Amino acid sequence: MIKKPMMGMAAMILVMPAFAAELASQQDTAKATPGDEQLLTDKVKVTSILPDRLEAVPGSFNVVDEKELKSRQPFSVREALNQVPGINIVGEDAFVLAPNIGIRGLNPRRTSRTLLMEDGMPLFLAPYGDPSAHYSTPLDRVSRIEVVKGSGQTLYGPQTIGGMINFVTKPVPKEFQASVMAIIGNNNFSGGHVNIGTGGDWGGIMLDAVNRKGDGIRRNHDFEINELTLKGQLNLDDRNTLIAKVGWYEENSSVSETGLGLVEYNEDKYQAPTGKQDSFNHTRKTLQLQHIFQVNDKAKLSTQFYYANSERASFRQINDPGGLGGRSEMDRCAGVVATEANSAQCGGRWRPRDFDYWGVEPRLDISHSLFGIESDAVIGFRYHKEDQNRNQYRDGNPLAQSLNWAIANGSHREDIRIDVEAKSYYAQNTFYLGNWSVTPGLRVEDVKKRTNIARAEGALQDIQYDNNETVYLPGLGVAWNGIANTTFFAGIHRGYAPPRPDRDIAQNTLGDVVASRTKAEKSTNIEFGVRSHYFKGVTVESTLFNIDFDNIVIGTGDGSGRFINAGKAQHTGLEIAGRVDLGTVYDTPHNFYVSGNYTSLFTAKFRNSRTIVDEDGDVTTDSFDSGNRLTYAPKHIASVNFGYQHPVGFEARIGVDYVSKQYADNTNTTAASLSGLTGTIPSYALISASASYRPIGSKATFFVSGHNLGDKEYLASRVDGMVAGRQRQVFGGVRYDF
């Protein structure tokens, strides 16, 4: 049952079309001019999560635009975002196929605490039930990347603790345009991108085709991705626009989610004993529809519908890295060491999972002065529905390396259905008071989750349970622009990450399957900062932030995959970033520049001690003390780049990225265990460089880019055993624009 505040907001949303139409009638009659039609057409803008008036944004944000993406030629999303302060990306695979992005010290595992979006549409397997990232928008289709970390998250959800990353795709063209790009590099890397589109006053249509393939970090970890995207826009009249986007994505890789034991890693950190049999197959189909009613120059009513279907099936043969004295054990062949020869003679475990979600979201953006104060308001509502079907099959027979055989003949170990219904209501108003802007907002999340465990650990079950809640997430931000080209800002908002049903399923020491029902993570987020380009050719920003968790969720650390609420935790740090363009400072077409960012996460700790026991309460599985540092929260992250831009179209850059030591477990163990799961992750620094040349008057651009040029060997993760970071990767290519 929806509570009264929700009913009020829902009623407000239901009358939005009538309110917008009435406003249009009144203001058009009073203020219509001959140029209104063109002005209204130009106001169609629905893909950004940042407002037009950036100086009024009461929180920290960063934008990586298309110019910078072309200049840096990032190999993956990891290189695209390493210039954004506060971000830590753990690279477990060569091309970041499954992004691990952490913001401000939050655990980066599968980006589950950072809201990933494309044109405002969530990208996770299941945004509420399983917010795991196994996909990010290929950079070939991106016009800019928006990163929002502070106040202003009221309008989006459900993950509002760490921040949001929105990939804004290229708009459909207003006339014919096309481009072709081909790239090639070491590690058998190659790829291509084709973009073709046309348009006019009626709208436009555009097709993108992307291919990438190559070898992984470890041997036998090759990968290939393919994607087709069709995007269209239809201008029905001067006020109504339809935008549609259809996408198909496929990943076929041999990247296993398991790492190496200590002995294996020391012998050869790039080996993958079961890589020839392991696989990860992912197919993703999406549809996004948007209708924009441009009421007038001051009001816009946009309605978005989205749908996504993901089918992923992973096969692996190791579930106990380092379990045999530092060497990994074949999962379905007990006592057999994992080697390439042994893997061919053994089966393993398949995890086919299907995810469907869809949603509809009307939103009204309006500039007004209803309170006698110039204001921008946003009112919106979203209905979201998702379904998960999680299965698992195991067998020791080598024929089980075929999914079809495993389904027909293997042991059906898991059959779990999860349904989620979520209603989100939000309202925000920005008041402009001279040099001040004040932005209060409120988001309400009403979430209902039902889990049906039909089979677990091979046994038939009949367990059903609900996990429902309604949360209120207020926020308040203030910005002051009393100094030219400078904004001082401060904000506070309530963060929220809903409970994940897939984390609520555990097995106690008696072998019984139980529902642990973790509670939602909630936090209070505060930040103070300044961004400025007061001095010609110089941009700087700095933000002091603090995140206080009420009930942080962590893994138990016993290898069971179980999660619990661990009480209070705190993240406090300072972000600094800047850039100096000497060409702008001295008014010369030859531009030498330096850019960099630094994050000091001086606090990332538990604020209470706890002993973790199994569900039956008898066996201690882990413990941590107040003051222990949180996992995968490096104290220092830094990046610096030096570059040169020549007026003939040549540009070159060299840079260094640094990440300090990290802990991999809650007890802050320093010595490496035989399993590889515990121990520190040492600090590392990586060198990168890029260069591009587009001759004046030419339609061709030539580029080369290199990452980890020193070919440094380093440890990237211990989540499922020890995983090495990517070796040297160099690639070059050409792009031709028609």
> What is the C-alpha separation between 474 and 151, in angstroms, rounded?
10
Instruction: Enter the pTM of the model.
Output: 0.93
Six token digits for residue 102: 């952490």
Alpha carbon distance, N-terminus to C-terminus of the chain: 57
| DSSP, res 257 | S
Q: What is the pLDDT of residues 214-267, one digit of tens each?
A: 999 999 999 999 999 999 999 999 999 999 999 999 999 998 889 999 999 999
pLDDT band at residue 617 under the 50/70/90 scheme: low
Looking at per-residue pLDDT, the higher value among 715 and 515 belongs to: 715
Averaged over 521-538, what is the pLDDT?
A: 96
What is the DSSP annotation of 347-377? -EEEEEEEEEEEEEEEEEEEEE-TTSS-EEE
Q: Which amino acid is at 469?
A: E
What is the DSSP annotation of 400-423? GGSHHHHHHHSEEEEEEEEEEEEE
Cβ(549)–Cβ(568) below 8 Å: yes
Q: What is the predicted pLDDT for the residue at 720?
A: 92
For tokens 């019984």, the residue is 512
pLDDT above 50 for 28: no
Q: What is the pLDDT of residues 669-695, one digit of tens each?
A: 999 999 999 999 999 999 999 999 999
pLDDT above 50 for 7: no
Q: CA nearest 24: which of 246, 237, 263, 306?
A: 237
Peptide bond into 695 cis (omega under 30): no
pLDDT band at residue 404 under the 50/70/90 scheme: very high
Buried b (16+ CB within 10 A) or exposed e, 58-85: bbbbbbbeeeebbbbbbbbbbbbbbbbb
Averaged over 705-719, what is the pLDDT?
A: 97
pLDDT band at residue 15 under the 50/70/90 scheme: very low
For tokens 């939103």, the residue is 363
CATH numbers and ranges of domains, the chain: 4-737 (2.40.170.20)
> What is the C-alpha separation between 492 and 151, in angstroms, rounded?
6
Q: What is the predicted pLDDT for the residue at 620?
A: 62
pLDDT above 50 for 447: yes
Q: What is the pLDDT of residues 354-370, one digit of tens each?
A: 999 999 999 999 999 98
Q: How large a percentage of the chain has pLDDT more than 70?
A: 89
Q: What is the pLDDT of residues 472-518, one digit of tens each?
A: 999 999 999 999 999 999 999 999 999 877 666 665 555 566 666 78
Q: Which amino acid is at 278?
A: D
3-class DSSP string for 444-501: EEEEEEEEEEEEECCEEEEEEEECCEEEEEEEEEEEECCCCCEEEEEEEEEEEECCCH
Q: What is the predicted pLDDT for the residue at 555?
A: 76
Cβ(256)–Cβ(235) below 8 Å: no
**Other CB atoms within 10 Å distance of the CB of residue 620:** 11
Helix (H, G, I), strand (E, B) or coil at 163: coil
pLDDT band at residue 623 under the 50/70/90 scheme: confident
Looking at per-residue pLDDT, the higher value among 654 and 561 belongs to: 654
Q: CA nearest 727: which of 207, 94, 197, 239?
A: 94
> What is the C-alpha separation between 169 and 142, in angstroms, rounded?
4
Q: What is the predicted pLDDT for the residue at 518?
A: 81
pLDDT above 60 for 616: no
Q: What is the predicted pLDDT for the residue at 32?
A: 40
| DSSP, res 201 | T
Cβ(163)–Cβ(147) below 8 Å: yes
pLDDT above 50 for 286: yes
Q: What is the pLDDT of residues 368-400, one digit of tens each?
A: 998 899 999 999 999 999 999 999 999 999 999
pLDDT band at residue 35 under the 50/70/90 scheme: very low
pLDDT above 80 for 37: no
Q: What is the pLDDT of residues 430-446, one digit of tens each?
A: 999 999 999 999 999 99
> What is the C-alpha separation between 298 and 24, in angstroms, rounded?
9
Q: What is the predicted pLDDT for the residue at 374?
A: 96
Averaged over 594-621, what is the pLDDT?
A: 83
Q: What is the predicted pLDDT for the residue at 160?
A: 87
Q: What is the predicted pLDDT for the residue at 171?
A: 95
pLDDT above 90 for 726: yes
**Other CB atoms within 10 Å distance of the CB of residue 174:** 14
Residues in Cβ contact with 33 at an 8 Å cutoff, skipping those fewer than 6 apart: none
**Other CB atoms within 10 Å distance of the CB of residue 323:** 21
Q: What is the predicted pLDDT for the residue at 561?
A: 64
What is the DSSP annotation of 16-59? HHHHHHHHHHHHHHHH--TTHHHHHHHT---S-SS-S-GGG--S
Mean pLDDT over each residue of the chain, to the nearest integer: 90
pLDDT above 70 for 640: yes
> What is the C-alpha separation between 652 and 71, in angstroms, rounded?
8
CA dist 267 to 272, 679, 713, Å? 12, 18, 13
pLDDT above 90 for 162: no
Q: What is the predicted pLDDT for the residue at 80?
A: 95
Residue 498 burial (10 A CB sphere; 0-12, 13-18, 19+):
buried
pLDDT band at residue 71 under the 50/70/90 scheme: confident
